[in-house]
Structure 1
Amino acid sequence: MGPVLLAGALLGAVVSCGPADPAPVAAAPAPAAPVPSLWPLTGLDSGTALPRPALAVKIENSVQARPQTGLGAADLVWEEVVEGGITRYVAVYHSTLPAEVGPVRSVRPMDAAIAAPLHGLFAFSGGQPAFVAAVTDAGTQVVSNDSGAAGFYRIDSRPAPHDVYADPATLLVQADPRHLAAPPAQFEIAGPGNEPTAVTAGEPAGSLALTLSGVSHPSWTWSAPDGHWVRAEGQTPAVEADGTPLRAVNVVVLRTESVDTGTTDPAGNPVPETVLVGSGDALVATGGHTLAATWVKSAVDQRLVLRGPDGNPVRLAAGNTWVELVPTRTGSVTVG
């Protein structure tokens, strides 16, 4: 019996050591789609662009200043009422740097609240010491023509004080170590495959007619073929110096209070301040639609937040945005 058992054992060993069925080969996981790198102020693809700080520039908007240079390249443009009812812009450049911007004018009291959340540079020409100090105290790096900063120059084709222009690239290279980072997003932006809130929850609209003061009546008309709102000053199309129409993917209207600062400009006109820390009504225009909203800004250095009727953040479309600061008591907004 012993040999039989041994043979059986050997046979079992041979069988157990035979070639095994090949193990199934797991399919290699599909490579993950690359996550796009987006410009924070527009939500557009930045490609391989190097990070750089945001540059805010104070641009004039009197009749003598038109047409301006470089406004169309700005990621954000804020329009504010200053003395005499005229308006000025704070144009914010990040994704695109034009070769020239201007006319560059002086700082105003509400500019600190506009520029501080960007954590970048603010360029201007002139301003009362208290207004300049407010910008610096808010954490923004001041780049001033009056202090001799490089990048400013005067052109021969316009009389003073409408003749100060600037080279944004030269302004930016002066960023100190504390102001080199890219800015955080200032508004919520709908990501790829998502619709902006005004389109999903708003009403169709073709135009916005605004009154900022007795002498300022900008309007915006929706142009479906190119997906932009097109600006006019009253009945006159608003264009750049090269004739390019001024356009915006998003127009954000903020109803704001205006207070007297107790100061005057060189001509003796009272200098108003738009109050931007607080809250108020808003209107968001995107994609041929408008949406009633509210805005809130908790501090000078905090970004302004837009919320829809449901209390959720309002998402803008990817692209440039113009912000209109319309006084609650003397201004008006008409949707057509």
Structure 2
Amino acid sequence: MTTVVMRHTARTRHAAPTAAVLAASLAVSLTAGCGHPDRDDNRAPQRSATPAPAPSVAAVGSPLAVKIDNVPAARPQSGLDAADVVYAEQVEGGLSRLMAVYATRLPQTVGPVRSARESDLELLGQFHRPMLAFSGAQRKLLPLIDNAPLRPEPAAEDPSAYFRAAGKAAPHNLYLRPAKLLPSAPGKAALTTGFSYGPAPSGGTPTASRTVGFPAARFTFTWSAQQHRWLVAMDGTPMKTTDGGARVAPATVVVQHVRIHDSRYHDVLGNPTPYTETVGSGKAEVLRDGRSFAASWSRPMATDGTTFRATNGGRMNFADGQVWVVLAPAR
């Protein structure tokens, strides 16, 4: 499939395309691929020459999404504790990468920042013109990022917002200063995820710990009654941040079972690039308040949020606070 992309070199911020343009862009993305998870590709997308009309939902606000490295050499990360939502996704070689979404609070630094993936465009379609911070992307993905209804902010295009930190080797040492991209946090209204917050449903199974695995990565969530949070461990090691060494501890953890399949592209080592489908429906498991709840998820279109329902058909409410969504392979 051949995609004709209009480009220019001036730095502009344009309005989001319509839902029809989004659907077409995401459909085309099925034919693209990405680079190796341990190799930066700092090639930046360029903006479309013809802005689309501004949507009427501009008052919603635009959140900041940051692609965050999650291999051992990248840990501990910075700024994860300030995110409203953290998505864990599978990348090449069965490894994992994180996407942290910020709407109510902006940390001083976030990182290490890494490259974007094809699946990110579909996942971010549920937000209004999200700003995507990433280190770069594979060449074939650049036109798709350019045409997607988001505001790309790669490191190569805005170097003043990024810096290389001491103590870690490249490419695991690139960090973002969010204040250089946004003057302030857009607010809770920017979280157009479809999530519902409130009291837990009846039932559920008391759960002390839950482990979710990718082929080469393992997340463990352990309930802390004292903190009333789920303490995250990565590959058996407690996950902490550089911000005071605090444990990463979401209030709600969602294990969303999704279809993950190989795209038609491979990285430089020959590993297939996974594509994670977040539009559709399937089973889910929700951890909150020390209990596990069976649930289902539904997202009919890329422009929709994701709705979670309990087994009785009612909305599956999340606890107030940070939400982790692990996009796990469907069983």
TM over 0.5: yes
Amino acid of the residue matched to residue 87 of structure 2? W
Partner of 2:190: 183
Does the 8 A contact of 2:207 with 2:292 survive in 1?
yes
Structure 1 residues 245-301: Cα deviation after superposition (integer angstroms, max 9, x where no partner): 011100000111111112222333211111111111100001111111111111222
Work out the CA distance in 1 between the residues paired with 2:159 and 2:280: 34
Q: How does 1:115-126 map to 2 (within 5 A)?
A: 115-119=124-128, 120-126=130-136
Partner of 1:318: 320
Q: How does 1:80-95 map to 2 (within 5 A)?
A: 80-95=89-104
User: Which contiguous aligned blocks of 4+ residues in structure 1 show a shift greater than 4 angstroms?
Assistant: 179-182
Partner of 1:268: 270
Partner of 2:222: 221
Distance 1:322 1:88, change over 3 A: same
Work out the CA distance in 2 between the residues paired with 1:181 and 1:158: 33
Provide the aligned length of Structure 1 versus Structure 2: 271
Distance 1:263 1:173, change over 3 A: farther
Unmatched runs of 5 consecutive residues or more in structure 1: 1-49, 330-336
| In the alignment, structure 1 residue 196 sits paired with structure 2 residue 197 | no
- The 10-residue stretch of structure 1 (166-175 or 281-290) with the greater mean CA deviation from structure 2: 166-175
Unmatched runs of 5 consecutive residues or more in structure 2: 1-58
Does the 8 A contact of 2:104 with 2:188 survive in 1?
no
Work out the CA distance in 1 between the residues paired with 2:60 and 2:308: 26
Q: Following TM superposition, by how much is the alpha carbon of 1:84 offset from its aligned partner in structure 2, in angstroms?
A: 0.8
Q: 1:151 aligns with which of 126, 148, 161?
A: 161
Corresponding residue SS for 2:179: helix
Does the 8 A contact of 2:79 with 2:241 survive in 1?
yes
Work out the CA distance in 2 between the residues paired with 1:89 and 1:184: 17
| In the alignment, structure 1 residue 99 sits paired with structure 2 residue 108 | yes
Distance 1:184 1:240, change over 3 A: closer
Q: How does 1:20-99 map to 2 (within 5 A)?
A: 53-99=62-108
Distance 1:262 1:64, change over 3 A: same
Corresponding residue SS for 1:239: coil
Partner of 2:151: 141
| In the alignment, structure 1 residue 161 sits paired with structure 2 residue 154 | no
Work out the CA distance in 2 between the residues paired with 1:138 and 1:308: 32
**Which protein is bigger by CA-based radius of gyration?**
1
Q: Following TM superposition, by how much is the alpha carbon of 1:156 offset from its aligned partner in structure 2, in angstroms?
A: 2.7
Corresponding residue SS for 1:113: helix
Amino acid of the residue matched to residue 64 of structure 2? L
TM-score for both structures, normalised by structure 1: 0.75
Partner of 1:46: none
Q: 2:141 aligns with which of 127, 131, 134?
A: 131
Amino acid of the residue matched to residue 196 of structure 1? A
CA RMSD of aligned residues (A): 2.4
Distance 1:52 1:275, change over 3 A: closer
Partner of 1:303: 305
Work out the CA distance in 2 between the residues paired with 1:181 and 1:95: 6
Partner of 1:327: 329
Work out the CA distance in 2 between the residues paired with 1:174 and 1:149: 19
Does the 8 A contact of 1:189 with 1:196 survive in 2?
no
TM-score for both structures, normalised by structure 2: 0.76
Does the 8 A contact of 2:104 with 2:187 survive in 1?
no
